[in-house]
Amino acid sequence: MTWQLIVEPEPLPGSWNMAVDEHLLRLAGSSPRTFLRFYRWERPTASLGYSQDASRVVDVDFCRAHDIDIVRRMTGGKLVLHDREVTYSLASADVSIFTETLRESYRLISRALLAGLARLGITARLAETSPPAYVRSTMPCFAFPARDEIEIGGRKIVGSAQKRNGPLFLQHGSILLETDEALLAAVSRPGESAESLGMTSISESLGRPVDFDAAVGPLVQGFADFFGAGFDRFALGPADREAARLIQASKYASDEWTFRRGSPSAR
């Protein structure tokens, strides 16, 4: 079993990152391939879940004043501030590996991430329940670990979301290298306190700085170990880049997409 692996250490604009993930989803739907991608962000970027109302969850004026981008994901979930992290995405329609249910495929990917964190020397676990107050609230993603998300001592270290259309799905998520509770609290609405956010990071857990390059190798190996997958390196060719550019221009770089209110359809 061979997957396509994309590792992009060069920080990229948020709208481009979202467009590439959607392009890979389309490729996975048109051919029997599984894509695993790791990437970074050009500058701090707040991403909204597909169905979120921007006016209720993000302080747009603060973001504009502090050079923080805002994008809307095609996946569900809550507000995430992408900054000092490793971001992963996985696109596939292979039900022989991932099953056809959102929760089971989500759990499988979480377990692969646990294996990668273990290779880094971090012992983490899957959260068993979602606090009801968190589920109903407009709190950001990293306020609490939800069911099947990865936590250490009740503090979230990975936040993920999935978009599914039958067997075809995209899951992407944020694996924190460092935390900045104060900035996340400032970006969020109606206004969280830094002390209320239950988050941790790879660097904090290990007691030493860990950068993108040092984290990605063990995370890739965690997927290889858990799924028994090998990897071929995949690079976006000219046709891929043009397709992603068109998605970016028509959707993720558009205020009409970013600031409209969607309808619930994904985790």
Active site residues: 141
Distance CA 25, CA 173 (A): 15
Nearest to 88 by CA among 198, 182, 3: 3
Distance CA 3, CA 172 (A): 16
Nearest to 199 by CA among 45, 43, 84: 84
Three-class secondary structure of residue 37 per DSSP: strand
The count of other CB atoms within 10 Å of the CB of residue 65 is 9
The count of other CB atoms within 10 Å of the CB of residue 2 is 10
- Are 126 and 107 in contact by the 8 Å Cβ rule? The answer is yes
Burial of 146 (0-12, 13-18, 19+ CB in 10 A): buried
